[in-house]
Amino acid sequence: MINSGIGLAPQWVLLVTLMIAANPATPQQPGVTEGPAGILAVQLRQQGHRCDEPACAEPDAARSRPDERAWVVKCANASYRMRLMPNMAALIEPLD
């Protein structure tokens, strides 16, 4: 006998719904704020620097190049200058 699959539609909908709920597309880390300050704070932490409560991140146009973006990131406990380059770890300079 050939199964037409008509009775499987609700099961597939349930399966897909469970998969989406279990694997959200944008997982959030605790304490991460949206925007450049939060994103750059994650990079700082991944490279071993401490950044408690990222306050702001400002582009540093004077130190930026076409293939390198420079930012000044201010956290509650410290400030950093970061140079971001494609496919490389960021160059991080503590400012405090």
Note the pLDDT of residue 79: 97
Residue 24 lies in a domain: no
Report the domain count for the chain: 1
N- to C-terminal Cα distance for the chain? Answer: 75
Q: What is the pLDDT of residues 43-92, one digit of tens each?
A: 999 999 999 999 999 999 999 999 999 999 999 999 999 999 999 999 99
Residue 26 lies in a domain: no
The residue range of the domain holding 40 is: 33-96
The mean of the pLDDT values for the chain is 80
Tell me how far apart the alpha carbons of residues 77 and 60 are, in angstroms, rounded to a whole number.
Answer: 20
Q: What pTM did the predictor assign?
A: 0.64
Local confidence band at 34 (pLDDT 50, 70, 90 cut-offs): confident
Percent of the chain as helix, strand, coil, to the nearest 5: 30, 25, 45
Q: Are 67 and 88 in contact (CB under 8 A)?
A: no
Tell me how far apart the alpha carbons of residues 57 and 90 are, in angstroms, rounded to a whole number.
Answer: 15
Residue 89 lies in a domain: yes
